[in-house]
Structure 1
Amino acid sequence: MKKIVLLWLLSVGAVVLFAQKPVTVKPRLLISTDIGGTDPDDNQSITHYLMYSHLFETEGLVSSPSYGQGSKKELLRMIDLYEKDLPLLQKHQKGYPTPASLKAVCKQGRSGAAPFAGYTTATEGSNWIITCAKKKSKLPLWVLVWGGLDDLAQALHDAPEIQSNIKVYWIGGPNKKWSANSYAYIVANFPKLWFIEANSSYDGFFSNNGVPDSLRNRNYYDRFIKAAGYLGKDYKNYYKGAIKMGDTPALLYLMDGDPNNPYKESWGGSFEKFTHSPRIVFNRNPTLADTVTVYSVVELHLKGPVDNNIPPDSACFTMSVKAKIGEQKWAGFYLGNGDYVIRYCPKQTEMITYSITSPVKGFEERNGQFVVDNVWPGKQRSTDYQLGANWFTDRSDPKLFDDDSQGAQTVLKWRTDVLLDWAKRWKWLQEN
């Protein structure tokens, strides 16, 4: 999107805000989404994508519900709505993909999180990632992951050679909790990937800080979306029309600026290189004297009964975590020889209290606590995952925090531009 140069005439003189440059070549795009699961913000982001889909060479739309009951049927339903609105969109913009072409690249990915190994068996979605990544092209395949990494991890496991053909922008943060094992597999085995790990920058897109009243999350629908086509009517079903769209910055990153240069500003944020991804290993029950890094992989190793009837790498115990958002339960795995293990990724600063129980005979209940700090990626540890030259993450400059969200100002600063541009397209759908 070409941003308009804004000229503000102030009493102290003229100030010019220079525009970002639009992306000149249509990016090859594959979206992995947990749409239809427990968080309806993916429906909002898919709506936004469909209304801008002429900007991309869309090669794949993969349903990857590592948590919840999402499926590609929800993608197909959204495309049906797009089809009804397409004539109005085409009156103003050429190049929109046909609904049939979009449906043809919708694929079903893994349902449920991967086991401790980080991968299991191929899915239609993971195979499609491989197929697209192997196409002959001078352009990379951009894989935007709006949920868990399970299908991407499976694709890399089955065809490791594709790592040089893809570039990944992942909305991490809470999604990291649901795919901790797949994330661990990727960072441990594919450090040469080109990978943006956005754990908190995307928060800037649903921040109301400094945003005009008409563009605030709960006001935008009534001001711009209401009565705007079939997609607009459907939008009311998600958060009652209030904007969240936490996955949209991944798409915005490909719409504006220079996607091949993550250091530069773009609607989807700007990022900095990081060389280590925190992995914190406990061979005991941690206490409040232990502090872990936010978004890190916390790995708890337990000794328990040797049970040859439990298949290796199978879920056999439960970690119940009490945190700010309430209680959540996570599966732990048996590795054989009396070794039990679980990974957990905290998403915010807080105190964590947990208990571990299992139906395995002779397995003792465990309890523990630890504190989560707010410095990512934090100090280095010998157990950390070592990353290659092309791993990028949220900017750490304190001035770029929005409240507690690291790097979120790099997205928030463009939010007004993005929403005003989108408002023009909603207006297209209000025409008779």
Structure 2
Amino acid sequence: MSDNHLFETAWFLIRQNDSMSFQLLPGQPRNPVTQQLVPVGSAVRLLCTPAPLPYTCANVSNVTVTFSPSASRGLAVNVTVNLLVVVLRLSDSEECSGSEGADVTRLSDMLWGPRGVAEQLQTCSYGNMRLNQQRSQVRELTLQCRWDVMLCDHIATSNIARQEVRRLIPNLNAFTHFMYVMPDASACQFQGISEQLGRTSWIRPGDLGVFKPGTVMQELLHNYGLYHGWRDDTEYVDGSTFMGMAQSACPSAPELLRLGWATPLAVLNRNLLPEATLDVYNVTIPATQAGPAGVTVRILPDWLPGDAYTKNLYLSLRTRVNGDWQMDEEYVDQLSIHEALRAADNGAGSSTEDPRFNLVALLEQGTKLTLDSYRLVVQARELLVDSKARRMMVDVCRFRFRSTECRMPPIPTM
């Protein structure tokens, strides 16, 4: 499966013996035994009926699932990435005129230089993800101009390029991941596109494509199964994470937990978060980059009646430090409140489901927010700045009928 950032999803399979890709026109296949959709990242045996278009299955049959990814909250724990980046150019042919490609030196500097992608991934992950420069390469490859490449048929492009790359680098199995940078003239509508739980990504040249660190890191994390960041129920627009629109900020707190890079400070449910008549919960939350331990408060609102409990909540503090050194001002020193779909976030079903981590609010110190659908009041009481770095004192109150039941602690005067 791939997501092209245009809110479109394409399903394809990768042939095991030669890593060639084939798009599945019928979409996500079903397990004929269970009639359930086959999760992304599964290994299958099937019969592909070719379509007139190259590298395309018009239909699939005789589907047998040989491997299905297990549910896991640690998508990328202690991983080393050996990355092959193939920068594509085109030479003149009878079909079309040639095209230049991305600047290899500039790209290498962005990957390996100070505060580059490799350094940021290691910092954001607290050492869990290492982009191995010694076993990675950035290579230029010139193909004869073809219309499928010019029209940005990314599957055809990588299939063609891979055959040529194999002549230059016989042992492609030494690489864990592959990234193809499309030629300048290729008419791609995306900035980046990746295999979800796969090994390959495709990126446009340019400042919003391969020269935006956030784009490169996002496509790589898609390969590990992480989805886009949401904000206000809109996909891709959470600017506090490179899984959204950030230039280079680290993943959000719920994403850090999903990746297995960090752990929560507390997990609250009906037993640990009493109603307002009894108490108000107080906690001091450190900035996420002070982790990996205690980066967020996770709330499981299991006190809601019937089917009303559909989402979890996360409270976290972001600030400009370490991997978040370039974070947009809007998110700095604010209490971030994210929602997540309960079924995927609690691990029900497959780990391939999208929990839709959705930023719903930012609270500056001295403000509070009533979340009526959760019967909660959240107060960002005070930002603490001292030798222990930045922390936010937070109060959480669960009410039965109305928010006036909550007697929140006073906010310190400046």
More helix by share: 1
TM-score range, shorter chain: under 0.3
- TM-score calculated relative to the size of structure 2: 0.25
**Per chain length, whose mean CA-contact separation is higher, i.e. which structure has more relative contact order (CA < 8 Å, sep 6+)?**
1
